[in-house]
Structure formats: structure tokens, C-alpha cells
Structure 1
Amino acid sequence: MTDLLAALLLGIIEGITEFLPISSTGHLLIAERWLGHRSDLFNISIQAGAILAVVLIYRHRLWQLLHAFLRPITTEQVFGQQPRDYAYKLMAAFGTTAVLGVVVKKMGFELPDTVAPIAWALVLGGFWMIAAEHFAAKHAAAIGERSTVTWTVAILVGVAQVAAGVFPGTSRSAATIFVALLAGTTCRAAATEFAFLVGIPTMFAATAYEVWDIAGTPEAAHEDWTQLAVAFVASAVTAFVAVKWLLHYIQRHRFTVFAIYRFVLGGALLLLVPGEG
């Protein structure tokens, strides 16, 4: 297999898995065992490609939020709240992620390069998703459907993003969506949109940080920018399709199918790659 084809496949895998609750980081770490290890810049950049797809999907919402700061008075609302208030909560979630992310980075945390931790995270994450779905449904039945994002939800979503990054296999989208649902934003559409919008500045900031960190280093000089560009475009295109599908799917279905997928994949990895810890 050529390096360019391998990069294309990695971009497709990233685009499909970044926003589905099945862990893109876990899938990439596993895929790299057969397709070749890539630099941190490569992995972060193709994640940014997936985020670009979300920017395109939510471009009207993003313009609405930006416009809210240009107009002192507006009657428009975002899930029952003023756009400016909603934007401030997005900032709070991103700020929480940024601060905790820097702390984790300074602690020298590195993602595991063995399969076993990822496999266990996939399996345990499946159980967590089923439990979270159950309690989120009970919570929604008790208090009714609420689409408003509170400050508590915003902070917890920020924390969840960092936790998902620390434990590959957890899934950032699953962690943030279910945290929002359990913390009080019981409307699935509202919880999902907030989780995805927070991911935009988070992943773009992570990409900028990595670029700044390696600028002028031998790693940057040896980066294959053609392969990175191919993977970036592939990630953006497939993520656009995946997110569009997911937004339609969750309107009428639960996340159970993703939990089952995690059980199957995690179990298969533990059986096929035994003894790797």
C-alpha cells in the first residue's frame, strides 16, 4: 500500500469516527498499526479537517452568534436563550478545555500506543453510554425537555472534552453529549449542537498549538504535506456526510447501536491482540 493511499484511508477513518460516539482517537491509534505511524501534527490536522465540516454545517448558527455581538438588541434566540448568552457559554466551555488541556500537556501526558487500553475503553465506554442513555431519559421524563444550556452544562462539557482526550477510546462526542444531557440540557438536538460547536475552537486551537510547537523543527521539515493535505480533505468530506447522517439519526433513535459497536470492536481487539498492555 502506498503512503498516499494510507494517508487517504486515515483521513476517511478520522472523518467517519470524529463525531460518531465510537472514538476517533482510538480508531486512529489502531489503524496506524497497519497503515503506519503518523506525526502528532498529521493527526491533529486531520481532526481539524473534520471540524471544518462542522463549521460548514453550522455556518448559519455561527454567523448568528457572531452577529449577536454586532447588534445590541435582538429578538432571535438559540434554543430558548439569547445568542450572546449562548456564545458566552461556548466560550466558557472552550476556556475550561483550554486551561485543563494545558495542565494535562504540562504534566507530560502521552496517548498509549498499545491496543489493550483502547479496547477496554471502547468496551467500558459502551456500558457507560447505555447507562447514561438510561439516566438521561429518566432525567428528561422527570424535568421535561429543556434545550437551554446552563453555565454548569457549559463547564462540564469543557471538562468532558479533556477527559475524552486523556482516555482514548472514550469518544469526545459521546462524553460531551451525554454530560450535557445528564446535566440538564435534556433536548438531544440542543445537547448535540452545543457539544459540536465547542469542538470547533477546541480542535482549531489544538492544531494551531501543534503547528506553533513544531514550527522550524526537523519534524516540520520532514512532514509530507501532500499526504497531510489529502488526509485533511478526505477527513473534511467524510465528516460532513457523517455529521449530517448523525443529526438525522438521533432525532428518532437512541445511541444503543454505537454501544453495541463498541462492545464488538473492543472485544475483538482483546481477542485478536492478546497480551498487549
Structure 2
Amino acid sequence: MLAMNDLWTSILLGIVEGLTEFLPISSTGHLLIAEHWLGSRSETFNIFIQLGAVLAVTLLYWRKIVGLVVGIQKPENLDYSLKLAVAFFLTSIFGLAAKKAGWKLPDQLAPVLLAVFVGAFWIFLAERRFRFLEPTARIGWMTACAVGIAQVLAGVFPGLSRSGATILTALLFGVNRPAATEFAFLLGIPTMFAASLFSFAQETHFFHTLPSDSWSSLAVGFVVSGVTGFAAVRWLLSYVQSHTFIPFAWYRIGLGAALVGLLSLPWKS
């Protein structure tokens, strides 16, 4: 049985992950704030709640995914799929290079704080440039490559936000908000599944050791993250039809201010 304290911690962290993973506000920054009071959880738990969030997006886009696979012979579907593949390939190659170089996610607030503020500036920059461009729903090859590299930057600088970095990069190339969001989310599905499964295999020594968390705790975090992630993504897809990302920039500035305050407080582990 799952202890009440662990149950509420799993629920709260699942909610935080689900709400923030696909919004351009930095899930890493929010999880660090939550863990400051709730205590840090294992890497396996973080992997499970991330998988819950990405499963939610997969369910939302299952028709689009099936349509791309079944209709791959259509030129427009083949073109779109190839651009997703190229973006994923660039993310994988540069991401593995970063891993080989010994890079790993920091567990301190300071580097995340910097990335949170940089992300706010990126939103202002992208939205300002977008006003002077002719919006298009078409994803170009340069856009696809840039979005793939942006995913790597978001991984190297946690707090930047993977979804934010990819969506805003597409905006910089003139892709309208709905099309940029869709491409970023579809790219995020294989990227996050691959990264999560790779991390889980490493964490469990390729499945030879059991996770340190109870299976109940992992299941609760997974389900809660999936449910809240589903709701958050559905809301965002509706929001971007007629709104800019500027409010998220101001939110990030507020989040950064909160992180500044946490830097002066003792860390709970």
C-alpha cells in the first residue's frame, strides 16, 4: 500500500509535470520548486511522470499519426513525415553527443533560473519577429532542422522548456502558432518516448534492477500526469488559435522571481 504522504506527493508532482511539460513555461523549473518542499524523487519516478505526459499528447494526436502512417504515399504526408524524421534525427545525434560528453541535468536552481529568464526573452523575440513575417502553415526544411536542434538546446539548458524552444523556433521562421505547436508536439512524442525509455534502461541497468520507488507510486504519478497533461494540451491547442505566447513570457518572469527567492532557502532532499 502507498503511504498517504507518498500518495499526495506522487499526485502533486504528477499534476505539476502534466500541466507544465507541454506549456512553454519549463517543467524542470516547476518540478524543482515542487521538490524543494516535497522532497526529491528518484529519476525513475520523473521518467514515469514524463511518460504519462507524452502518452496524453499521443492520444490527442492519434488520428494525425495514423493518417501520416496510413497515407504515407501522399506527397504532403511523406514530406511532413520526412521533416519530422530529420528533426528527430538531429535531436538524437546531438543529444547522444551531449550524453557522451558527460552532460547531465543539473539539480540546482541557479542554471535553471537563467534558462527561465532566457526563455521569457525568447518568447518576446519570437513574437516580435513574427509580427513582421507572412504567416504560413507549411514547415520548411530549414525550420525542421532548426526545431530539431532547439530540442537539444532545451535539454542542455533545462528551464528553457522543450515545447517552448521548439514552438518558438518555428515561429521565428514564420510558421503560424497552430502549425508550429502541432509540429513541436508531434516531434516531442518520439523524442520523449525515446529519451524516457533510454533513461529508464540506464537507471535500472537495462531492467536488471527494480526501481527504488514502489510500483504504486510510479503508477499514480503516471496516471495523474497523463490526465492533467491531456487537459493542458487540449487547452493550449485551443488557446494558440487566437492568442500570442506573450502571457507565458510574463509568467516565466514571475517563475524566475520565485526561483530567485528559493535560492536563498535551504534545499530539502
TM-score of the aligned structures, taking structure 2 as reference length? 0.91
1:125 to 77, 96, 119: 119
* Aligned twin of 2:42: 39
What is the CA–CA distance in structure 2 between the aligned matches of 1:106 and 1:42, rounded to whole Å? 24
What does 1:1-277 correspond to in 2, within 5 Å?
Answer: 2-69=5-72, 72=73, 74=74, 82-138=76-132, 140=133, 144-184=134-174, 186-213=175-202, 214=204, 215-218=206-209, 220-274=210-264
The Cα of 1:216 is off from its aligned counterpart by: 4.2
Residue identity in the other structure for 1:60: R
What is the CA–CA distance in structure 1 between the aligned matches of 2:187 and 2:136, rounded to whole Å? 19
The answer (yes or no) to whether the contact 2:33–2:259 under 8 Å persists in 1 is no
RMSD across aligned positions (CA): 1.9
What is the CA–CA distance in structure 2 between the aligned matches of 1:3 and 1:275, rounded to whole Å? 23
Describe the superposition over 1:137-171 as per-residue Cα deviations: whole angstroms up to 9, x where unpaired: 21x2xxx2211111111111111111101111101
Residue identity in the other structure for 2:200: V
The answer (yes or no) to whether the contact 2:18–2:53 under 8 Å persists in 1 is yes
Residue identity in the other structure for 2:41: R
**Cα 1:222–1:62, aligned 2, differ >3 Å: closer, same or farther?**
same
Q: How many residues align?
A: 262
Question: SS in structure 2 opposite 1:7?
Answer: helix
The answer (yes or no) to whether the contact 2:117–2:253 under 8 Å persists in 1 is yes
* Aligned twin of 1:78: none
Q: Answer with 256-265 or 33-42: which moved more.
A: 33-42
What is the CA–CA distance in structure 2 between the aligned matches of 1:61 and 1:216, rounded to whole Å? 32
What is the CA–CA distance in structure 2 between the aligned matches of 1:158 and 1:216, rounded to whole Å? 29
Residue identity in the other structure for 2:115: A
What is the CA–CA distance in structure 2 between the aligned matches of 1:170 and 1:133, rounded to whole Å? 16
What is the CA–CA distance in structure 2 between the aligned matches of 1:86 and 1:176, rounded to whole Å? 16
* Aligned twin of 1:77: none
The Cα of 1:122 is off from its aligned counterpart by: 1.5
What is the CA–CA distance in structure 2 between the aligned matches of 1:14 and 1:32, rounded to whole Å? 12
Q: Answer with 104-113 or 234-243: which moved more.
A: 104-113
Q: Answer with 191-200 or 245-254: which moved more.
A: 245-254
The answer (yes or no) to whether the contact 1:136–1:178 under 8 Å persists in 2 is no
The answer (yes or no) to whether the contact 1:46–1:231 under 8 Å persists in 2 is yes
TM-score of the aligned structures, taking structure 1 as reference length? 0.89
Question: SS in structure 2 opposite 1:2?
Answer: helix
The Cα of 1:58 is off from its aligned counterpart by: 0.8
What is the CA–CA distance in structure 2 between the aligned matches of 1:113 and 1:84, rounded to whole Å? 40
What is the CA–CA distance in structure 2 between the aligned matches of 1:207 and 1:246, rounded to whole Å? 23
Q: Answer with 224-233 or 116-125: which moved more.
A: 116-125
The Cα of 1:205 is off from its aligned counterpart by: 0.5
What is the CA–CA distance in structure 1 between the aligned matches of 2:172 and 2:51, rounded to whole Å? 28
The Cα of 1:111 is off from its aligned counterpart by: 1.7
Q: Answer with 253-262 or 39-48: which moved more.
A: 39-48
Question: SS in structure 1 opposite 2:264?
Answer: coil
The Cα of 1:126 is off from its aligned counterpart by: 1.0
